[in-house]
Amino acid sequence: MKKTIKDIDVKGKKVLLRLDLNVPLNKETGEISDDTRIMESLTTINYLCESRAKVLICSHLGRPEGIDKKYSLKPVADRLEKILKHKVFFAEDTIGKDAKAKAKVLNDGEILVLENLRFDKREEENDATFCKELASLANIYVNDAFGTAHRKHASTYGVAKLLPNAVGFLMSKEIKVINSILDNPKRPFIAILGGAKIKDKIPVIENLITKADSILIGGGMSYTFKKALGGNVGKSLVDEEKITLAKELIEKAKANNVELVLPIDTVCATEFSNDAKPKKFPSDQIPDEFMGMDIGKKTIKLFKRYIKNAGTVVWNGPLGVFEFNKFAKGTNKIAKFVSKSKAFSFIGGGDSASAVIKSGYAKEVNHISTGGGASLNMLEGKILPGVDVITNLEDENEPKKEEAKKKAGTKKTSSSKTTKKQPAKKATTTKKTTAKTSSTKKTTAKK
Ligand code: AMP
């Protein structure tokens, strides 16, 4: 298990808190258009303030090329102050004069937000000097930025090597939820995968093929599978280079007794536009001049049956071009079914999270991840660098145990009991799950 802020004494200490405050901004006004990421960080911020730590918040915002005030964290600091009803100081730089001066005079329980980490390109390079400068501002490092935990940047990785460290509440919850899904899912365990970037989703399919009972595939990536099966997909999105791999995955699923469920009907259009006239075809008989834009009614009904009978549902990626109203029906319906289902529901951030929020059922979902890329990486079975670098509680306790053992050894000699050394557990992402039982598999819905 990773050390959490509850395992460290922060009173009177300067805590460098890495958050994911990469909030969406209104393109015209530059105002914060959604403050969910700020709200999600409040539990950790409040805990640190109440514990009388001096809180130094750092984050990235957008993808600035050098210093670009359009991406300043000042509006985020102002919004935070408004929400907390408590003074929030702001440093005009990240590791410069202003940050150092303001960090120096910060009192217990006060908050200082540093300027955007990505104004300095050394952040993303995990540059050693940048890490050192950042670390010199504080005594303790806490990472609560799950959304960037898959990145090996200075503020998510390098700095953790230089300071006593721990994860915050949000990060801790994300890791726990995903690990418990992968290790011990309530069955039947179904995964719904959509979206366009098949290369990002294939590693997830590869990992889930050993864990899930059924994998439902929709969206742009489904046509590569349909084509691999010999279907005609017209001018739908196809990743030609992945056709062989898709064939292999279909075989692997069969061998593992996992159902790979593909769309049976598709809403198509002759052009990629919301003005295009939708026309439905069987998913493997799409005429040459048409492209697939959404799953059809029969597929929605088929997917619904799986969702209804599931014990665990993991969903990542829209099932159609949901940005166009005419082709958003499949995604919206699935959002509704997932949130209404009695299964433990997990939404892997990004577009599927937006769809669930838009559907108005977000509150009924068990967990909406704050990290699209990070949660996808965990579902792939990868260890996230930002999590891996944090001290394991077991490792922390080991020297203490050794010390106690030594002390006991000097007191007692032959009669002293030796402490059994526990093998250090990897407390991050990839523990092997227990094999699926055939009895639980019987409850899986049949087509
Ligand atoms: P991803 O980032 O891989 O999850 O992909 C999300 C994108 O997939 C969204 O912008 C959707 O519009 C797109 N998408 C979903 N279904 C289709 C489709 N049938 N054809 C093209 N793009 C799609």
Cα–ligand 1 centroid distance for 151 (angstroms)? 24
CA distance 55 to 45: 8
> Does the pLDDT of residue 169 top 70, yes or no?
yes
Structure-block tokens of residue 402:
């050794």
Number of residues assigned to the chain: 447
234 lines ligand 1 (CB under 6 A): no
> Does the pLDDT of residue 422 top 80, yes or no?
no
> Does the pLDDT of residue 208 top 90, yes or no?
yes
Cα–ligand 1 centroid distance for 106 (angstroms)? 46
Instruction: Give the model's pLDDT for residue 266.
Output: 98
Give the residue-averaged pLDDT of 383-406: 82
pLDDT in tens, 279-296: 999 999 999 999 999 999
CA distance 341 to 371: 23
Give the residue-averaged pLDDT of 395-406: 70
Catalytic-role residue among 197, 297, 326, 340: 197
pLDDT-based confidence at residue 128 (cuts at 50, 70, 90): very high
Comparing CA positions, the residue from 286, 291, 343 lying closest to residue 314 is: 343
Higher pLDDT: 363 or 134? It is 134
Instruction: Give the model's pLDDT for residue 419.
Output: 37
Higher pLDDT: 200 or 384? It is 384
Instruction: Give the model's pLDDT for residue 310.
Output: 98
CA distance 78 to 64: 20
pLDDT in tens, 101-116: 999 999 999 999 999 9
292 lines ligand 1 (CB under 6 A): yes
Structure-block tokens of residue 43:
């539990």
> Does the pLDDT of residue 423 top 50, yes or no?
no
**Percentage of the chain exceeding pLDDT 90:** 81
pLDDT-based confidence at residue 27 (cuts at 50, 70, 90): confident
Instruction: Give the model's pLDDT for residue 434.
Output: 34
Instruction: Give the model's pLDDT for residue 196.
Output: 93
349 as an active site residue: the answer is no
Comparing CA positions, the residue from 206, 201, 249, 199 lying closest to residue 225 is: 249
CA distance 221 to 238: 7
Q: pTM of the prediction?
A: 0.86
Cα–ligand 1 centroid distance for 320 (angstroms)? 6
- Beta bridge mates, 90: 113
**Percentage of the chain exceeding pLDDT 70:** 89
pLDDT in tens, 53-94: 999 999 999 999 999 999 999 999 999 999 999 999 999 999
Q: What is the mean pLDDT of the chain?
A: 90
pLDDT-based confidence at residue 411 (cuts at 50, 70, 90): low
323 lines ligand 1 (CB under 6 A): yes
> Does the pLDDT of residue 147 top 80, yes or no?
yes
pLDDT-based confidence at residue 420 (cuts at 50, 70, 90): very low
Protein residue closest via CA to atom 12 of ligand 1: 321
320 lines ligand 1 (CB under 6 A): yes
Q: Which residue do the tokens 């899912």 mark?
A: 185
Give the residue-averaged pLDDT of 216-238: 97
Instruction: Give the model's pLDDT for residue 398.
Output: 67
Torsion on CA atoms 68, 69, 73, 78, rounded to nearest 10: -170
Instruction: Give the model's pLDDT for residue 409.
Output: 65
Catalytic-role residue among 373, 382, 405, 441: 373
Q: Which residues contact 122 (CB under 8 A, 6 or more apart)?
A: 129, 130, 154
pLDDT in tens, 238-278: 999 999 999 999 999 999 999 999 999 999 999 999 999 99
Q: What are phi and psi of 247, to 5 degrees?
A: -60, -45
Instruction: Give the model's pLDDT for residue 88.
Output: 98
Protein residue closest via CA to atom 17 of ligand 1: 220
Cα–ligand 1 centroid distance for 111 (angstroms)? 40
Give the residue-averaged pLDDT of 225-237: 98
351 lines ligand 1 (CB under 6 A): yes
Instruction: Give the model's pLDDT for residue 426.
Output: 35
